[in-house]
Amino acid sequence: MRPKRILITGATGGLGRALVRAYAEPGVAFLLLGRDAEKLDAASKDAASGGAMAETSNLPVTDAAAMDACIKRFAADGGIDLLLLAAGVKTGNSGGVEPQDQLERVLAVNLSAPMLAVQSALPSMKENGRGQIAIFSSLAALSPHADLLSYSASKGALRSYAVALRRCLRGTGATVHLISPGFVDTPMTDRHKGPTPFLMSADRAARIIRRGLEQGRSQISFPLRLVALIRLQNLLPAALGDAIDRRFRAQILPDPDESAARHQDNIEQ
C-alpha cells in the first residue's frame, strides 16, 4: 500500500524537498518540517503541484517539545504511514578539534532529534499496526571521513540505532528502514570542497529511496558502486584503508549556523 500520510523533517533541504516531489500525488497528505520559511513554502507548492495536500511547520528539529506536539497532532488526525527523517547537518573540523557548540549541534540534529521524533510517532504507529520509519544515515557511517568527525560519528550511531530499533519493533506493524546515501547534489554537498565520487542528483536519490521503501527493504544504500568500494576498503588492512582515505580529503565550508555563530563571536570579542 502506498503511503498517504507522510511526515518529512528537513523538507527544506535538497534531499528533503526532492522527497516531497517524489511522493507528491493526489490523495497524499504531508506534514513538512523545516526552519527556512521561504523554502518551506516552496516545498509546499511542490506538493500541491503534484496534487498532494501539505501542512507545514516552521520549527527546528532540536526543539523537542514543539516537535513532539507537532508529530502527535499530525498522527492523531489519521496516523502516519511514512516518517522520513531527512534533517541533518554536516560540519568540518580543524585537526581533530571542533567547537563545543558545533559538536553539540551536530549530535542534536543528526542523532537526538530523529530518535525523539521516532518516539513521538511510535504510539500512533503501534496503535494502528502500520507505519514506515525511514532513518537517514550516510555511507560515512561505513567509511568515516577524516574531515567529518562529528558527522561520521553521529551517522554511525544513527545506523546502530536504526538496526536496534528494527529488531525492537518486529511484529508491531511499524517497520524501520535505514537510508545510507553517498554524495547527493545538494547545498550541503556544495560546502564539501573535495572529491565527491559518483555524485547524483537529489531527485534521482529520492526515486531510489522511494523504490526501496516500496519494496520494503530494511537497508537502502547507494550508489552501489561506492557501496562496493567501501566494502572492499573495509576488508583491507587499516593502514591501506587510511591511505585510500587520504585521497578523499576535503575542506568543509561552514554552514549558515556556523557562520552566524562566528560572526557573533567576532562581535563579542
Task: Burial-class residue 6 by CB neighbours within 10 Å (0-12, 13-18, 19+).
Answer: buried
Residue 264 has what pLDDT?
Answer: 41
Q: Which domains does the chain have, with CATH numbers?
A: 5-268 (3.40.50.720)
Three-state DSSP class for 184?
Answer: strand
Whether residue 267 is predicted with pLDDT greater than 70 in this model: the reply is no
Could you tell me which residues are beta bridge partners of residue 133?
Answer: 83, 176
The candidate with the shortest Cα–Cα distance to 152, out of 142, 160, 162, is 142
Residue 265 has what pLDDT?
Answer: 44
CA distance 179 to 181: 6
Do the strands 29-34 and 53-58 form a parallel or antiparallel pair, or are they unpaired?
A: parallel
Residue 266 has what pLDDT?
Answer: 39
How do residues 78-129 score in pLDDT, each as one tens digit?
A: 999 999 999 999 999 999 999 999 999 999 999 999 999 999 999 999 999 9
Residues annotated catalytic, as ranges = 151
Residue 1 has what pLDDT?
Answer: 74
Backbone phi, psi, residue 98, to 5° = -130, 140
CA distance 225 to 123: 38
Task: Burial-class residue 237 by CB neighbours within 10 Å (0-12, 13-18, 19+).
Answer: exposed
For the chain, give the mean pLDDT. Answer: 94
Whether residue 263 is predicted with pLDDT greater than 70 in this model: the reply is no
Backbone phi, psi, residue 54, to 5° = -140, 130
Taking a C-beta distance cutoff of 8 angstroms, is the pair 73, 97 a contact?
Answer: no
pTM for this prediction: 0.94
Q: Which amino acid is at 88?
A: G
How do residues 171-188 score in pLDDT, each as one tens digit?
A: 999 999 999 999 999 999
How do residues 22-78 score in pLDDT, each as one tens digit?
A: 999 999 999 999 999 999 999 999 999 999 999 999 999 999 999 999 999 999 999
Residue 259 has what pLDDT?
Answer: 63
Residue 256 has what pLDDT?
Answer: 80
